């Protein structure tokens, strides 16, 4: 088992990782190692400590102690890697690393949601971590700069999903959380059986949003846990649509463009699915503000075509 603050001493994912070069693999291995550490901490009862604080992150979300701890774990694992030029997360703003060393080789920005779904901590429901490895070009990153993205889901088992230009693979953690083994390649079903949205916000949806959700809900079961990674993973397996729309009072939505939509849009598309923001745009737009939030629609190709058509016609 990995311990807190330890840099990776072995490859937790079976190597080689398809679609990634040595530097990119090293970054993904460090992320995977950190997810095993987090899974072990959750298993060993770290969530039994204080479950809430008076602190808020810069998005105004209440921080649980685990938010800070997991952010620190990813930060310390990634800062030691020469290929990492910067890290930005939902919990801490962009931090440049390796600036004084061989900065020419520090080519990658790592985007992170270190503990996704932290309001689930109190009830023991599923949690996740989300990441993207992005080639730095000097301009604000776009979905086109992502070289790898994925997520971990922590529940009764720990799953790590990695998307690269060559496809999407899922890995399952060993019972002792020492390593991951390859489980299967993932391809999102084209139609799907479920949809995930917080129906409690329906009264604040625009008519286009209502029409889009109505279109995907017909013939599908609603499944929503409050953790994006968990809900998205179900969509990856069973197909359907995950949506976190904007509302009349919050048209820009709640989920983060860089820490949530860009990574998951990359995964969805690499698995044959589709992604859109609130305008139904097929491309994930360039935003200078790393902390931007956005409406999110992700899922199977067929229902997403209906969503995109409705949103672009609004
Ligand atoms: P927290 O990490 O603050 O719990 O937020 C999780 C999240 O960003 C995402 O994982 C969920 O899909 C979404 O928020 C749930 O938000 P609602 O509770 O508003 O439905």
pLDDT at res. 109: 94
Among candidates 225, 312, 313, 219, which has minimal Cα distance to 274? Answer: 312
Which residue's C-alpha comes closest to atom 18 of ligand 1? 226
pLDDT at res. 170: 98
Domains within the chain, CATH numbers bracketed: 22-185 (3.30.540.10), 194-313 (3.40.190.80)
Which of the listed residues 51, 229, 244, 249 should we mutate to test ligand 1's pocket, taking the one with most ligand atoms within 8 A of CB? 244
CB 179 within 8 A of CB 36: yes
Beta strands in the chain (DSSP E): 84-89, 95-96, 108-116, 127-135, 146-154, 158-164, 167-173, 180-185, 194-196, 221-222, 240-244, 274-276, 296-299
- For the Cβ of 227 lying below 6 angstroms from any atom of ligand 1, the answer is yes
Q: Which residues contact 72 (CB under 8 A, 6 or more apart)?
A: none
- For the Cβ of 116 lying below 6 angstroms from any atom of ligand 1, the answer is yes
What rounded mean pLDDT belongs to the chain? 89
Q: Percentage of the chain surpassing pLDDT 90?
A: 72
Residue 9 has pLDDT above 60, yes or no: no
Q: Rg of the chain over CA atoms, in angstroms? A: 18
Cis peptide before 16 (omega within 30 of 0): yes
Q: How far apart are CA 265 and CA 150, in angstroms?
A: 10
Which of the listed residues 66, 200, 255, 295 should we mutate to test ligand 1's pocket, taking the one with most ligand atoms within 8 A of CB? 255
pTM of the entire predicted model: 0.92
Which residue's C-alpha comes closest to atom 8 of ligand 1? 255
CA of 102 to the centre of ligand 1 (A): 38
Under the banding of pLDDT at 50, 70 and 90, the label for residue 2 is very low
Q: Which atom of ligand 1 lies at the shortest distance from residue 61's CA? A: 3
CB 143 within 8 A of CB 284: yes
pLDDT digits (tens, 9 = 90+) for 105-150: 779 999 999 999 988 988 889 999 999 999 998 887 788 899 999 9
The three-class DSSP label of residue 63 is coil
- For the Cβ of 228 lying below 6 angstroms from any atom of ligand 1, the answer is yes
Q: Which atom of ligand 1 lies at the shortest distance from residue 116's CA? A: 2
Averaged pLDDT, 31-37: 98
- The number of beta carbons lying within 10 Å of the beta carbon of residue 111 is 26
Which residue's C-alpha comes closest to atom 17 of ligand 1? 226
Judging by beta carbons within 10 Å of its beta carbon (0-12, 13-18, 19+), is residue 96 exposed, middle or buried?
middle
Which of the listed residues 52, 116, 260 should we mutate to test ligand 1's pocket, taking the one with most ligand atoms within 8 A of CB? 116
């Amino acid at each position: 088992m990995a311990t807190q603050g330890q840099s990776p001493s072995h490859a937790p994912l079976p190597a080689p990782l398809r679609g990634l070069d040595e530097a990119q693999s090293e970054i993904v291995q460090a992320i995977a190692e950190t997810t095993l550490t987090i899974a072990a901490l959750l298993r060993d009862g770290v969530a039994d400590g204080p479950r809430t604080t008076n602190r808020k992150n810069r998005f105004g979300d209440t921080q649980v102690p685990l938010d800070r701890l997991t952010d620190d774990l990813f930060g310390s694992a990634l800062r030691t890697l020469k290929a990492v030029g910067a890290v930005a997360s939902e919990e801490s703003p962009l931090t440049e690393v390796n600036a004084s060393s061989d900065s020419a080789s520090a080519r990658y920005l790592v985007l992170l949601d270190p503990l996704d779904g932290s309001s689930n901590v109190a009830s023991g429901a599923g949690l996740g971590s989300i990441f993207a490895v992005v080639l730095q070009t000097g301009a604000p990153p776009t979905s086109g700069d992502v070289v790898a993205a994925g997520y971990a889901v922590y529940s009764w088992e720990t799953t790590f999903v990695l998307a690269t230009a060559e496809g999407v693979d899922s890995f399952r953690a060993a019972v002792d959380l020492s390593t991951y083994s390859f489980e299967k390649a993932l391809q999102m079903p084209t139609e799907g059986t479920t949809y995930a949205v917080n129906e409690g916000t329906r009264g604040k949806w625009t008519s286009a949003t209502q029409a889009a959700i109505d279109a995907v809900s017909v013939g599908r079961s609603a499944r929503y846990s409050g953790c994006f990674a968990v809900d998205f993973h179900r969509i990856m397996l069973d197909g359907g649509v995950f949506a976190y729309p904007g509302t009349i009072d919050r048209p820009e939505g709640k989920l983060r463009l860089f820490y949530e939509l860009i990574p998951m849009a990359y995964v969805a598309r690499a698995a044959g699915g589709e992604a859109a923001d609130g305008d139904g745009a097929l491309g994930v737009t360039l935003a200078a503000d790393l902390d931007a939030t956005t409406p999110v629609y992700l899922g199977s190709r067929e229902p997403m075509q209906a969503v995109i058509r409705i949103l672009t016609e609004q």
